[in-house]
Amino acid sequence: MKAFLILEDGTVFSGTSIGSKRDMISEIVFNTSMTGYLEVLTDPSYAGQAVVMTYPLIGNYGITPDMESKKAWPDGYIVRELSRMPSNFRSAGSIQDFLEKQDIPGIAGVDTRALTKILREKGTMNAMITTNESYDLDEIIPKLKAYTIGDVVSEVTCGETYILEGSGPKVALMDFGAKNNIARSLNRRGCEVTVYPADTPAETIIQSNPDGIMLSNGPGDPAACVSVIKEIKKLYNTNIPIFAICLGHQLMALANGGKTYKLKYGHRGGNHPVKDLSNNRVYISSQNHGYAVDGSSMDPAVAEEAFVNVNDGTNEGLSYTGKNIFTVQFHPEACPGPQDSGYLFDRFMDMMKGAK
């Protein structure tokens, strides 16, 4: 069946429908990862967005157990070519079947190189995927321009508190759309991890007397999380060690007078170099974010830049002065290096031990 990708600037790509056949309107973003398409599909940070995979062949190892959450989150999926014969000893099915079961509309056969060039030059924009060959651009374009992502953190967070048992330090993980591997990375180091919904009051976290607090990744505009930011400020005012990733990094900055801004087309992929300013070493990182912290907006008496992006110089992490708090924009729980930045979890473990 034919399908069409219609951008808000009027550009139209044609291809073949994959997954669900329903119409979809969303923000279109691109990811440069060569592998890990299942982790991309199940990353809650993609809620409210449709993903373009720049690597031309997707699905060659099928659907494996490597899911970062219980379901897929993107609104849509755009690829150059889907593998016709997935091959992997762990494969439990094809990506086509997975998209259908997850009710995600998609389109294959798109010139993703040309599409990515448009998004790089003009910036992230909204688009529609439709199988309606009689589409009317005059009707569709206003709808695309009016689309906003909205409050997606409330959609992706867990419904209730749950615990991953461990014999070591007790960590409170605030779930703003947490990838499973964040809790697993802590649990593998012996931590007992209690995962809390995003709207949990700070008092509840503090009264549980954790050894450390983890602020997770998540989707959407960080500045829209007004009530969450107020609670994070209360957590900041304690002496509990805190480690924050991605959205959590942005929310902690906003809670302490910093500013965030939307990037032209974001950082999404498994090959982004970041420099640790404490040792001047560069690490290959996995990233998925459309907003960044303005490092210059932070009061040096409150926080100092700890990491920067080697490609464009944007802020990639902060170290908070006089506090056992550090935050990063990238994903140390992912494995692009493959273990380049896993040491940050060890740093968090040392902070919790030192705070006792």
Annotated binding site: 45, 218, 220, 247, 250, 288, 290-291
Q: Which residues are catalytic?
A: 246, 331, 333
Annotated binding residues for L-glutamine, written as ranges, equal 45, 218, 220, 247, 250, 288, 290-291
Q: Report the C-alpha gap between 271 and 284 in whole angstroms.
A: 6
Q: Report the C-alpha gap between 331 and 291 in whole angstroms.
A: 14
Q: Report the C-alpha gap between 132 and 234 in whole angstroms.
A: 50
Burial class (CB in 10 A: 0-12, 13-18, 19+), 155: middle
Q: Of the candidates 17, 33, 2, which has an alpha carbon nearest to the alpha carbon of residue 108? A: 17
Cis peptide bond N-terminal to 219, omega within 30 = no
Task: Look at phi and psi of residue 202 and say left if phi exceeds 0, alpha if psi is from -120 to 50, else beta.
Answer: alpha
Q: Of the candidates 260, 244, 268, 230, which has an alpha carbon nearest to the alpha carbon of residue 325? A: 244
